[in-house]
């Protein structure tokens, strides 16, 4: 998925977000995850989201609430893996969730 993301950026299928590190980067990703949660993706309650490049775990806890920076799952919970670039493009509506799945920019387990 990380390789597919890099290829999509090189082929200009998606856009790379401007780099941000530290607390600014965490604030931006937190904002994006909160926006993602509002996109009605029909992910089941308890689904974990893992941002591969920043190694950040989040979890849909209840409708309209996502917990950011949680511990990884200890059981066989549903996990959605993606990169910040994919998240950026989803939030900016340059890419649909289905397109990201089809392009292997998102991995669901």
Confidence of residue 63 (pLDDT cuts 50, 70, 90): low
pLDDT score for 55: 94
Mean pLDDT of 29-50: 90
The model's pTM is 0.92
Give the CATH number of domain 2-13+44-108; options: 3.30.930.10, 3.40.50.300, 3.30.1050.10, 3.30.365.10.
3.30.1050.10
Instruction: Give the chain's mean pLDDT.
Output: 93
Residues 75-108: pLDDT tens digits? 889 999 999 999 999 999 999 999 999 999 999 9
Phi-psi label, residue 67: left if phi above 0, alpha if psi -120 to 50, beta otherwise = beta
Retrieve residue 74's tokens.
């200890």
pLDDT band at 42 (very low <50, low <70, confident <90, very high): confident
């Amino acid at each position: 998925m990380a390789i597919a993301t890099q290829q999509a950026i090189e082929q200009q299928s998606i856009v790379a977000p401007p780099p941000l590190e530290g607390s600014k980067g965490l604030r931006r990703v937190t904002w994006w995850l909160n926006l993602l949660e509002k996109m009605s993706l029909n992910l089941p309650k308890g689904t974990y989201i893992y941002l591969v490049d920043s190694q950040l775990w989040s979890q849909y806890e209840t409708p309209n609430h996502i917990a950011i920076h949680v511990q990884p799952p200890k059981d066989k919970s549903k996990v959605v893996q993606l990169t910040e670039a994919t998240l950026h493009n989803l939030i900016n509506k340059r890419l649909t969730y289905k397109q990201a799945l089809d392009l292997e920019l998102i991995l669901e387990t």
